[in-house]
Structure 1
Amino acid sequence: MSIEDKEKPISNVQTADDNEPEESYFGYGPFRPKCLQFLNHRWCLIFIVCLQVFVSGMMISGFVGVTVSSIEKRFHLRSTEVGGLPAGEEISAAVTGFIASYYAGQRHKGRFLSAGALATGIGAIVYSLPHFFAGEYQPISTASNYTDLCVAKSASFAAEVCAAESVGSNAYVRNFFFVFILGQLIMGAGNNLLWNIGCAYVSENVHPKSSAMYIAAMMTVSTLGPSIGYIAGGNILTIYINTPKSPPEGITIFDARWIGAWWILFLIAGGGLILISIPLFGFPRFLPGYKKFKRLRLEEAAETAKVDNEYGHSIKEIPKATKELITNVPYMLLVAGLIFEYIVVSGIGLFFVKILEAQFRLPAYEASSILGYIGLGGGATGMLLGGILMRVFNMNGSKATFLTMILSIIDVLAAFWLLFSCENLPFAGVNSAYPLTPTSSIPEFGKPILAATCNNDCMCKGVKFNPICGVDGVTYFSPCHAGCTSGIYNPTYLTTSYANCSCIKNVNQTTVRFDAVSGACTEPCPYLTPFAIGLTISIAAAASKIVPSTEAMLRSVPESQRAYAMGFNWVFLRLIASIPGPIIVGAFIDRSCTLWTKDCDGSSTCWVYDSRSISYHVVGTIAVIKFLGAICFFISWRYYKHDDTKRNSTEEEEKENRML
């Protein structure tokens, strides 16, 4: 007999399921052999569901964020267009999840989970299809007579560059944007079933006292997936997009023109989810022990005076079921608190790689790996901590809400630790004057002045962003803007050295025979470590409150409404939090940009951010929004506590009446 079986004696409460078969078997239709029945256990169910959580999270919360810039460059999409891709996933998830979670309340939840895994896998494969139909990627500067050196150019150089870009890039690839939208729609529809229905399916097939631990396991794995996704994605992006073909000479992972093999990530994840859907389909509607666990949950529901109207049999009951949720004050306040939480999670999550790049001068693949390891440690620790606290202190809905509030306050305080950032290094014409042009002034914030007397004869109009680092410690927009007339590529060090640069003062010409090297200037920054510590604490605090908030939500509604309550909650999170979240955070990040350039198609790209400004905007956004969430959790706890006090008073009165 397991520990769960000893936790509480079986109640005499009768349920509507007493006429159901005692045993449920694992299998497919009539094919239910005894050799497969070892799978018919809650531990196997949790393992398969956690595997689905891991792969889905790795792809949707990891791979999608890591590959945003690659897809943007390859298919010539604007940032606003790429930023709209997650909206397709969120809208699809909200619509399908709302209906599916309602009907799943009285149906086979395992089949819904299996269909969700299959749909998510198909969506991932659809998302990778543009790579196979768009042809080989050809970097513009390699495919034309383009040069970014300070040499004589024709008066129509800028127009010729745009013309070459239009021909070489095969402008039709922009139309694959709609294929990406289709992939996101399919992925969103499938993935949302996992959270709407998965938590309820697991919760109803385990002992009520152990439910928090099982959900904590799911939530813990949900943090491992994105973290591994960032780490794996960063490594895969070091593979050239046209693999097994080698990149053109001079194109390295440090080059702005480099694009990694992003499509491999989605093929792997899609295939894995399709395979996961097979065992999920075999689980029975009710696992062994379900009847006993339901009796215990009904006892708990009776203690909290929640009436179960058994909604879910007809679509006509949706308005009544919805009204019951909306008038459930503790539940709705929990939803409101989670909305504020997910505004930050969805917004910061999409841009965190860019934030690390800007604040600590890191390349994208390195920022992805660091973020992955931090999420791995902080997220997993937080999820487990939340489940352990729920288990050790045997928390009911009121106590779980109180714990969520305390963790939210810690989360708000930890956000201020993220103010650590590196100082901005000098960038000629952007945040500092040209060193050899004493008459030039320091540009205003966000208004760069790239032209100077030292590069007036270089004809740099039309030259693309290709930063170089001068021996004077100053970064320049391109070799042309630094006045460099020659450059030599060194395949050993995968870098290009530039000489004869009229804008750079080389005081060590006798020992250093070049004036600049490719890539922006960088130097060690002592603040990355304290920032990482603060971020780990913040992620751990945020992750810790997911389990108690989910348990509080499940325990605030009747048995038959658990799946619908989760789905209803996710509709709000998808539409009110996850869609505007990236827009809000993105708008603040854009305000921190100090160097915008216009592309040939009229779109704008930001290349340089002010680290201090981005730090203040990000921390301010996190602190204010999460503080509002903490207020919602506090009010929810007060209502929960009031209901508990009222119920206890009623019970005392009943006892006194019986004694009389």
Structure 2
Amino acid sequence: MRDKNYACGVRFWHPEWLQKYATTKWFLGIYGLLGTVQAMSYMYFIVTLTTIERRFHMPSQTTGIVLSGNEISQILLSLILSYVGGQRNRPLWIAWGMVFCGLSCFILALPHLLYGLGDDAFHLTKEYFDIVGTKAHVILGNSTAIIPKKAEDRGLCKATVDEEECENIVKIVPLLLIFLSQFILGIGNTLYYSLGQTYLDDNTKKKNTPLMLAYAMALRMIGPIFGFFLGYVALNMFIDPSKTPLIDRNDPRWLGAWWFGWILLGTAMLMFSGLIALFPKRLPKDKAMLYDSHQPRTLLAEESKNLNGDLEIDTRSPPKDDLPKLKDLPKALGRLLKNRLIIFNNFAAIFYILGASGYMTFMARYMEVQFHRSSQSATIVVGPLTIGAMLTGLLLSGWVISKKRPSASKVLFWNVIVACVYMCGQFSYMFFYCGDTRTMMQNGVFNLTSTCNRDCHCDKATYSPVCHEPTGRTFFSPCHAGCQSWNKAENTYSDCTCALPEYSNLPTTPPSFAQIGTIHQEIKTFAPGSKQTTPKFFNPSVKPTSSTPASSFFDTLTAGACLEGCTWAFYGFTMLSLLVHWVGSSGRIGNVLVNYRAVSPEDKSFAQGLTLMMLSLFAMIPGPIIFGRVIDTTCLVWNYQCGKRGDCQLYDQEVFRYSMNGLSLVLTGLGAIFDVLVWFHGRNLDLYGEADEARLKEMEEKNNSDNTRKLPIS
């Protein structure tokens, strides 16, 4: 009779044709594909995050708090789930974890299904035009048409102030739904990470573990490439595909279909969870894989008696006494907390993740601010190239460690070198950027209110930059440029009074160091919609003259900021990122092996659970919140609605760059210190199970000797 512990299937269904798939390679394939889909969901969330923020008016600090739901569930449940699930049917528990991940994806799509595209986006559609008219005129080709209030003027100069509508602003419920989805996702992530890789390690020859882990991580690493692509496709669709937008994808007010990918990802996770649930509790083993940390010692002893012939598997169910008990959890936790190597390795990972959390969470915004590229166009270039570099570094390191078997001292010292490369890269990032475009400025600051737009009522105009190509000047919005007409066919603005030659002579030089603090403080405290319509540091010195020729009174501006030729900076940043991530990925296998080999076999899965809890508590939760707060302090112009501050519309590029990269550099440096401690204390670690192999060989020789003595003498 076949033992269910070693048979593919579920409950009472274990067909014979399914048993050939009970191999490490098949588990690796399914587990890796699950990781691919899971990584897709993570990167898809990062790519669409700025769209979600603009849709629901979320500041960066709030985003960090909402994202902490994932880590909160890991803090609360990772120890229990990894301790109890670690010695039960791990594939089945992983499958349930993926069900939770799929459910979280569907919950993430709920805010759109409940609240739709929102008023801001709806006011930019043809359907709104069919309902509401306006007095503003827009040039459509060779004709003039009346279009709706929000889409029409696209922030044009208006003689009257529109009343602000506040009753339809939705914030709390979508945030709660996003937080709930992240909380449920954390349960699935805990089961996937803490149980999956240890199951692989227990069913693989120890010398092959690095390569198997590299394959699993590589399959997971492919996920972000597809996540980038899915995000690119989704964000290029209008947030409501059933509506016809009156703006194009390059307009700063464009909102993509951020919700679309979650339905596809949730469905894929549910499908793969059913496949991984079919794997047995333990895979049939060969002689070199008898030392399974999750196999009761009584079974190991029984199997060891059969080394002379074909391996016979004991079909007895594990005794109940061998199953984990919650009352033993504190004792197991105490063993791990006293393990200096595990603690040092975990703190090294904590500071690395803290240092990288700004890039992981806010990379799309970093590219927008530093290189003036949309999140779609930037990530579709940087993302796949970076992932490709990480893949090659990961696979190469896994192959080298498996085949060449470098000493633990060499593997761990390489991680110290990796940390130094990371720090050099983060320092160098500070020097790659596209210079801020010349704007209608006074002392280097946006001229939010001037004589030329004084009667345009631009207090509530959102950041929609327009470019005056002849002078290379960028205006905050068409309203601030004094534009009164929009040509939809060419997406240009005309009748722009602030583009007059009289105003082109305003100074555009940056402020002096003595002025910077005052100027920044003035902009940050200037709330659109307040009675103070002109920041006090601005004092218009140029006024239009009556002698201005009529032919020069009107000028044309194009949508979007004036971009300087700085392609070299963007691609230089990309190439440097490739190098840093290629080297960095080569150290991941060594970190994982330390966690596996520095503990007793029965604590392996539990050690992974402890690692997840520590990373969540000290890195994943505070990281996005800290960087979100730092990024918010670099904001120059906030979007206010009904007196409440929402998302940031304009950042101080230089302060943003130095603050984010400088903080990352310091945190990575702390991680490097702990890597040195790991190298010092773990340089004699047995990474490849050589002690187990020697022990197994000794048992074989002993059994052969005993059997020889039992042979009858002829």
On whether the aligned pair clears a TM of 0.5, the verdict is: yes
* Structure 1 match to 2:328: 317
Q: Is the 8 A contact 1:227 1:375 kept in 2?
A: no
The residue number in structure 2 matching 1:382 is 393
Q: Following the alignment from structure 2 to structure 1, what is the Cα–Cα distance between the partners of residues 63 and 3?
A: 51
Q: CA RMSD for the aligned pairs?
A: 2.9
- Contact 1:348 1:585 (C-alpha < 8 Å) held by counterparts: no
**CA deviation string 1:595-620 (max 9, x = no partner):** 33433341143223343333322332
2:647 aligns with one of 601, 605, 613: 605
Deviations 1:447-482 (A, max 9, x none): x54111222232322223221111321111111211
The residue aligned with 1:353 is 364
Distance 2:434 2:267 in 1: 44
Match of 2:450 among 449, 452, 469: 452
Other-structure match for 1:7 = none
Which residue matches 2:624? 582
Q: 1:288: which partner in 2?
A: 284
Asked if residue 104 in structure 1 is aligned to residue 85 in structure 2, the reply is: yes
Partners of 1:396 and 1:318 in 2: how far apart? 33
2:558 is matched by which residue type in structure 1? V
Q: Identify which of 562, 569, 575 aligns with 1:527.
A: 569
Matches within 5 A, 1:86-485: 86-138=67-119, 139=121, 141-142=123-124, 145-146=149-150, 147=153, 151-154=157-160, 157=161, 160=163, 162-163=164-165, 166-167=166-167, 170-172=168-170, 174-243=172-241, 245-249=242-246, 251-289=247-285, 292-295=288-291, 313-395=324-406, 397-428=408-439, 432-433=441-442, 441-443=443-445, 448-471=446-469, 472-485=471-484
* Distance in 1, Cα, partners of 2:655 & 2:550: 37
Cα distance between partner residues in 2 of 1:311 and 1:326: 23
- Shift of the 152–416 alpha-carbon distance from structure 1 to 2, 3 Å rule, reads closer
Task: Tell me by how many angstroms 1:177 deviates.
Answer: 2.1
Task: Say if 1:289 and 1:452 are closer, same or farther in 2 by CA, change over 3 A.
Answer: same
Instruction: Find the counterpart in structure 1 of residue 664 from structure 2.
Output: 622
Q: Secondary structure at the match of 2:444?
A: coil
> How much does 1:397 deviate?
4.5
Change (3 A) 1:417 1:224: farther
Cα distance 1:297–1:487, how it changes in 2: closer, same or farther (>3 A)? Answer: closer
C-alpha distance in 2, partners of 1:211/1:149?
Answer: 60
Q: Which amino acid aligns with 2:159?
A: K
**CA shift at 1:215, angstroms?**
0.8
The separation in 1 between residues aligned to 2:628 and 2:214, in whole angstroms, is 31
Q: Deviations over 1:226-279 (max 9, x none)?
A: 232123202221011211x24332x22122322111111111110001001111
Task: Choose from 11, 17, 29 the match for 2:11.
Answer: 29
Q: Is the 8 A contact 2:253 2:464 kept in 1?
A: no
Q: Is the 8 A contact 2:499 2:555 kept in 1?
A: no
Contact 1:588 1:618 in 2 (8 A): yes
1:239 aligned partner, one-letter code:
M
Structure 2 unmatched runs, 5+: 129-147, 295-320, 505-548, 691-714
- Residues 1:517 and 2:519 are matched in the alignment: no
- Aligned residue for 1:497, secondary structure, equals strand
- How far, CA to CA, are the matches of 2:113 and 2:565 in structure 1? 41
- Contact 1:455 1:503 (C-alpha < 8 Å) held by counterparts: no
Structure 2 counterpart of 1:127, which letter? L
% identity of equivalent residues: 27
User: Could you tell me which of 17, 26, 40 is aligned with 1:44?
Assistant: 26
Q: Is the 8 A contact 2:98 2:269 kept in 1?
A: yes
Instruction: Please say which of residues 538-547 and 313-322 is displaced more in the overlay.
Output: 538-547
Tell me how far apart the structure 1 counterparts of residues 553 and 400 of structure 2 sit (CA, whole Å). Answer: 61
Give the 3-state SS of the residue equivalent to 2:644 in structure 1. Answer: coil
Q: Answer yes or no: is 1:596 the counterpart of 2:602.
A: no
Amino acid at match of 2:462: K
> Contact between 1:397 and 1:556, CA under 8 Å: does it hold in 2?
no
Aligned to 1:656: none
Q: 1:149 to 1:589 in 2, by over 3 A?
A: closer
Moved more, 108-117 or 339-348: 339-348
Query: TM-score, length-normalised on structure 1?
Result: 0.83
- Once the two structures are superposed, residues 576-599 of structure 1 have per-residue CA deviations (whole angstroms, 9 ceiling, x without a partner) of 001111122223333433333433
Per-residue CA distance 1:86-131 (angstroms, 9 max, x = gap): 1011111232222110112321111111111111011111211222
583 and 176 in structure 1: CA distance in 2 versus 1, 3 angstrom threshold: closer
Q: Check 1:394–1:533 CA distance in 2 against 1; reply closer, same or farther (3 A cut).
A: same
Indicate the structure (1 or 2) with the bigger Cα radius of gyration.
2
- C-alpha change, 1:296 and 1:573, in structure 2 (3 Å) is closer
C-alpha deviation, 1:78, in angstroms: 4.0
Change (3 A) 1:176 1:290: farther
Q: TM-score, normalised by structure 2?
A: 0.77
Per-residue CA deviation, residues 7-65 of structure 1 (Å, 9 max, x unaligned), is: xxxxxxxxxxxxx9698221122221222122111100000000111101110x21111
Task: For residue 501 of structure 2, give the secondary structure of its aligned residue in structure 1.
Answer: coil
Letter of the aligned partner of 1:469 in structure 2? Answer: C
* Cα pair distance change 1:363/1:286, threshold 3 Å: same
Q: Which amino acid aligns with 1:145?
A: K
Q: Whole-Å Cα distance in 2 between the matches of residues 418 and 223 of structure 1?
A: 23
1:415–1:534 Cα contact (<8 Å) kept: no
Q: Cα distance 1:272–1:577, how it changes in 2: closer, same or farther (>3 A)?
A: same
**CA shift in 2, pair 1:297/1:280, >3 Å:** closer
Provide the C-alpha distance between the structure 2 equivalents of 1:151 and 1:557, rounded to a whole number of angstroms.
Answer: 69
Is it true that 1:635 corresponds to 2:677 in the alignment?
yes
Q: Which residue identity lines up with residue 261 of structure 1 in the other structure?
A: A
1:496-528 residue CA offsets vs partner (Å, 9 max, x unmatched): 332343344399999998420111111321211
**SS of 1:458 mapped into structure 2:** coil
1:505 equivalent in structure 2: 501
| Greater Cα offset, 517-526 or 563-572 | 517-526
Matches within 5 A, 1:548-559: 548-559=590-601
Tell me, in whole angstroms, the C-alpha distance in 1 between the residues paired with 2:647 and 2:458: 18
Is contact 1:89–1:184 with CA below 8 Å preserved after alignment?
yes
CA distance in 1 between counterparts of 2:322 and 2:206 reads 21
Q: CA deviation at 1:396?
A: 5.4
Partner of 2:316: none
Aligned mates of 1:538, 1:273 — CA distance in 2: 31
Q: 1:467 to 1:296 in 2, by over 3 A?
A: closer
CA–CA distance in 2 between the matches of 1:252 and 1:105? 52
User: Contact 2:98–2:188 at 8 Å: present in 1 too?
Assistant: yes
SS of 1:247 mapped into structure 2: coil
User: Structure 1: which 5+ residue stretches go unaligned?
Assistant: 1-19, 299-309, 434-440, 649-660
Contact 1:114 1:278 in 2 (8 A): yes
Give CA-to-partner distance per residue, 1:333-380, whole Å, 9 cap, x none.
101100011112333200011111111110111122123223321221
| 1:242–1:297 CA distance, 2 compared to 1 (3 A) | closer
Indicate the residue corresponding to 2:317 in structure 1.
none
